[in-house]
Structure 1
Amino acid sequence: MEKKRFAVLLCAEDSDYVKKKYGGYFDVFVGMLSEEGETWDVYRVALGEFPDDGEINDYDGFVVTGSCHDAHGNDAWICKLLALLKKLHSLQKKVLGICFGHQILCRSLGGKTGRAINGWDIGLTTINFSPSKSLAALQIPSSLTIIECHRDEVRELPPCAEVMAWSEKTGIEMFKCGDHIMGIQGHPEYTKDILMHLIDRLLQRDLIQSCHVEAAKASLEAYELDEEAWKKLCKSFLKGPSLL
């Protein structure tokens, strides 16, 4: 049997802390999603590193990561990423988008993104799923906790897409398009430790206020992460014969 091959389209630069403790964000994603016998590669798209047309067909699926950049921006690499995602969609390649990846996927398909109406969402959030026989078959409960860290959101879905989940603050926490595209606004790959160090950096750069930090810490202390359920859900999407 031919080995499955996946690529992470890395849209963020590794922080010194994540690089030192986890080996970088690529290793964080591989730790969550990989299984024995698979090949995982990384393209640092934020630094201009993209797969060429010949390489695209070598992959069974792609993961688009979070980023400190805006998905509604028009930096050269973002425009190039939009073109790549349109191509992956036309080829019916499996694509999983996380946070920025969720938003840029939406934009590439004709949807709209922008600053979140309710402002920053940082901390542990409960999201609610739309009824789904496939989720029930995977024994995924009707709601799960996930780490959030975003100030942008999907404002309007593309015509091909439908909402999979929502939360109190965010109307489109997850969406799918056909059997091959899925976006998740939260960070199933994050640990509480990664979030706390990210919060410290955001505070140092005056991008958030101390009230955001206090609320995030309180949420992390009050609830546990549904890590295993998210692993199962993401792996089932990327590697299964059809979407959830």
Structure 2
Amino acid sequence: MSRITIIETGLVSKRDRTRYGSFPEMFERMIRAEDASIDFDIVSIVNGQPLPNPDTLQAVLITGSAAGVYDKLDWIAPLEEFVRNAYASQIPTVGVCFGHQLMAQALGGTVRKSEKGWGIGRHIYNIAPGNGVIDGKQIAIAASHQDQVIEPPPGARTILSSAFTEHAGLLYGNGAALSVQPHPEFDTAFAYVCCGLRDGHAPDAVVAQAKASLAEPVDNAALGGAITRFLTRGPRA
């Protein structure tokens, strides 16, 4: 039986957590929709829990966070070292949003706040052909970010991209690491909540357009299924 360790790096507000769940709970729902047999362990480093030795784990998923990878938080450097150790041991690892940026930075890429501003609402990404992980030509997923991977790490291939987010999905050189900027774990209602959190921070027109975009369907099952299969199939280098 497969077991995935979810590293919780961010917290949903108490009010929203009651209705939508924590970030790990969102990922559990996403993954179990593809494979109900998977078990989970949660390591909440944002709440002070210590990171395990990655060599003892079957697979790792790193959540999103309101933090930036460049913030001076005492758990970021240990998490980067954890990622590098998991990478060296080819432990299947996936990062989403903050997790995407943290993995890219830990493995030699560059992350910073984008001059393009907030990316919120439903975004459409082009899929690199023949990537072996995500099928199709395009995929629509909700996003919620201001930071971006500006330069991928050496050996990483960009497999999701858009005009707004050039490096929205990365497949890393060891074949066992994958990260994506958008949020396949967010249902449409929670993605709408996230748009509302940008009121007063992003231009009104950007927030309004982002909310309106969520009336169109998203492809959470496609990306969530790809992530689940990646985490449970093991290295493909």
TM-score normalised by the chain length of structure 2: 0.92
Q: 1:133–1:78: structure 2 CA closer, same or farther, 3 Å change rule?
A: closer
Letter paired with 1:184: V
In structure 2, the partner of 1:82 is 80
- For residues 133 and 98 of structure 1, what CA distance do their matches in structure 2 show? 18
Out of 22, 25, 29, the residue aligned to residue 24 of structure 1 is 22
In structure 2, the partner of 1:233 is 226
Out of 153, 156, 167, the residue aligned to residue 158 of structure 1 is 153
In structure 2, the partner of 1:168 is 163
In structure 1, the partner of 2:207 is 213
Does the alignment pair 1:148 with 2:143? yes
Out of 174, 184, 198, the residue aligned to residue 188 of structure 1 is 184
- For residues 145 and 89 of structure 2, what CA distance do their matches in structure 1 show? 30
Q: 1:52–1:226: structure 2 CA closer, same or farther, 3 Å change rule?
A: closer
Alpha-carbon displacement from aligned partner over 1:91-110 (angstroms, at most 9, x marks no partner):
11111010010000000001
Alpha-carbon displacement from aligned partner over 1:53-101 (angstroms, at most 9, x marks no partner):
2xx3332111111110011223111111111111111111111010010
Structure 1 window deviating more from structure 2 (60-69 vs 228-237): it is 228-237
Contact 1:113–1:155 under 8 Å retained in 2: yes
Out of 71, 75, 81, the residue aligned to residue 69 of structure 2 is 71
Secondary structure of the structure 1 residue equivalent to 2:126: strand
Contact 1:147–1:188 under 8 Å retained in 2: yes
- For residues 143 and 38 of structure 2, what CA distance do their matches in structure 1 show? 28
Shift of 1:37: 3.4
Q: 1:243–1:211: structure 2 CA closer, same or farther, 3 Å change rule?
A: farther
- RMSD of Structure 2 on Structure 1 (CA): 1.8
User: Please, which runs of 5 or more residues in structure 2 have no aligned partner?
Assistant: none
- For residues 161 and 181 of structure 1, what CA distance do their matches in structure 2 show? 9
Contact 2:121–2:192 under 8 Å retained in 1: no
Shift of 1:150: 0.5
Structure 1 window deviating more from structure 2 (61-70 vs 225-234): it is 225-234
- For residues 212 and 109 of structure 2, what CA distance do their matches in structure 1 show? 34
Shift of 1:133: 6.0
Alpha-carbon displacement from aligned partner over 1:129-159 (angstroms, at most 9, x marks no partner):
1111635xx7x21101010110000011111
- For residues 5 and 131 of structure 1, what CA distance do their matches in structure 2 show? 30
User: Please, which runs of 5 or more residues in structure 1 have no aligned partner?
Assistant: none
Structure 1 segment 24-43 matched on structure 2, within 5 A? 24-34=22-32, 35-43=35-43
Contact 2:121–2:195 under 8 Å retained in 1: no
Contact 2:7–2:63 under 8 Å retained in 1: yes
- For residues 151 and 243 of structure 1, what CA distance do their matches in structure 2 show? 31
Contact 1:7–1:42 under 8 Å retained in 2: yes
Out of 193, 199, 202, the residue aligned to residue 197 of structure 1 is 193
**What is the percentage of aligned positions where both structures have the same residue?**
23
TM-score normalised by the chain length of structure 1: 0.89
Structure 1 segment 77-116 matched on structure 2, within 5 A? 77-116=75-114
Contact 1:162–1:176 under 8 Å retained in 2: yes
Secondary structure of the structure 2 residue equivalent to 1:119: coil
Shift of 1:52: 2.8
